[in-house]
Structure 1
Amino acid sequence: MNITTTIDGTSACISPCGEIDFDTLPPLRAAADALPPQVTDVQWDLTRTPFMDVAGLHLLFAPHGSGPERRTTVAGLRAQPLWLLLTAADADPAVFDLSRLLPDIAPPGFRPAAP
């Protein structure tokens, strides 16, 4: 797996190229762990990730390392990784809160105001 990391001030973008599974999870976590402490926002660009198994859920939702808390978002979701995230959120919306990863999605339980 090739992983490209770009840093711009307090933001970083990590772009893996290839499938996310338990074999590729360690280098992906290492890429996130290697970010400097001033990085507070991390975007995972999954444009070149055609497949993601449960390891992707561990990467995006399970805390890892002792580094600083960072706001994490995801961009470039392809069909299968998006399906996995939606299925996980449907199964347990409290654990797999997509509003945290996908800023355009309303948080669980959100009800728009009546007109």
Structure 2
Amino acid sequence: MNIITTLDGPTARISPRGEIDFDALPPLRAAADALPPQVTDVQWDLSHTPFMDIAGLHLLFGPGSGPRHRTTVTGLRDQPLWLLLTAADANPAVFDLARLLPDVPPARFRPAAA
């Protein structure tokens, strides 16, 4: 896995290139943990991530993804998006996509499935 981190003031963009699985999780967490203290916004650019398993959920929703940074995700490809939507459908309280995807309305404002 190749990870590119770009800093712009209080914003960091982390761009992994490759699949996110449990082998990739430690270096991804290390990239986030290495951010300087002035970083308040972290954007995960997943445009070069064709596949993500449950490790991606741990990365985006697990310990360390919390209040130190505002976290968003961009560039979601089909399979990672499917995984996030499936997780959110199964447990919307834990997998709150409105936090990661600012354009997604909170569950209480989305129409119920038909």
TM-score for the superposition, normalised by structure 2 = 0.93
Mapped to 1, the partners of 2:100 and 2:63 lie a distance apart of 14
* 2:47 alignment partner AA: T
Unaligned runs of 5+ in 2: none
Q: Distance in 2 between matches of 1:62 and 1:98?
A: 14
* Aligned residue runs from structure 1 range 55-94, under 5 A: 55-64=55-64, 69-94=68-93
2:19 is matched with which residue? Answer: 19
Q: Is residue 98–residue 105 contact of structure 1 (8 Å, CA) maintained in 2?
A: yes
Letter in 1 for 2:51: F
Partner SS for 2:109: coil
1:104 partner SS: coil
Using the size of structure 1 for normalisation, the TM-score is 0.92
Partner residue in 1 for 2:33: 33
Percent identity among equivalent residues? 79
With over 3 angstroms needed to count, the CA separation of the structure-2 counterparts of 1:68 and 1:38, relative to structure 1, is farther
Aligned to 1:3: 3
CA offsets per residue over residues 62-94 of structure 1, 9 Å max, x none? Answer: 1228x9610000000000000000000000000
Aligned length: 111
Q: Is the 8 A contact 1:37 1:68 kept in 2?
A: no
Distance in 1 separating the partners of 2:94 and 2:33: 22
Provide the rounded CA distance (Å) in 2 between the counterparts of 1:35 and 1:81: 24
| Distance in 1 separating the partners of 2:91 and 2:97 | 11
Runs of at least 4 residues of structure 1 off by over 2 A? none
**CA displacement at 1:111 relative to structure 2:** 6.1
